[in-house]
A and B are shown apart, each in its own frame.
Chain A
């Protein structure tokens, strides 16, 4: 009985959420824009100072890509591909959609994974030790951005017109 009531309440909440609109324009593009600006900002900062690779969000990316300059290059490429997407939405196929957005999603997921690893290891990527709640509070925006970006990609694919 309780489980059924909970399920009904949850379905009500999800239905309300699906109908909810803040504006006439779709908001998924702002999530993509935020990710692009973040990645372009990181790329510039990595070029300015390679010591920035010790930052938790960038550290794992730097290891995977192989250094600050390659990481900058990859970040600029994925950000430009993703920012082009809203302008080409009407003209590209679903495979192109995946090709434009999923590389950036991969970068965000790697950053979020690095942040989660820092939470579980109780220290930032540069070795500064803190409690896991402290690190989680600090890194939560990055983790949530990766999650919301995934939702935005799926929404773009499922609400295709």
Chain B
């Protein structure tokens, strides 16, 4: 067997191993087809939306707290001095 054949055989072996690894990765991720991919993308979008919603809610709560403290300061300006 010539060195070229050996090299080609070795390269082919590594390529086959890579192919098997890519297919195992697909199985593990549950991706078999285009529709699987679409479902995963949509799931990711939904998760991103949920996260954004949570961020907005947290921000709303912070603003409400800020409003309340401002209101308290307007109603009772001496309260801060008392504290």
Contact = CB atoms under 8 A, between A and B. Distances in A.
Interface in B42-73: 44
A107 B48 CA distance: 40
A93 B7 contact: no
Contact of A157 (B2, B4, B10, B25): B25
A160 B18 contact: no
Contacts of A105: 14-15, 18
B25 A102 contact: no
Contacts of B6: 113
A65 to B, nearest CB: 10
Contacts of A95: 23, 26
Main secondary structure of the interface of B (DSSP, over half): helix
Interface residues of A, number: 30
Output the residue of A97, A156, A157 with the most chain B CB within 10 A. Answer: A157
Interface of A: 60, 63-64, 90-95, 97-98, 102, 105-106, 109-110, 112-114, 116-117, 121, 150, 153-154, 156-158, 160-161
B21 A157 contact: yes
Interface in B12-35: 12, 14-15, 18-19, 21-23, 25-26, 29, 31-34
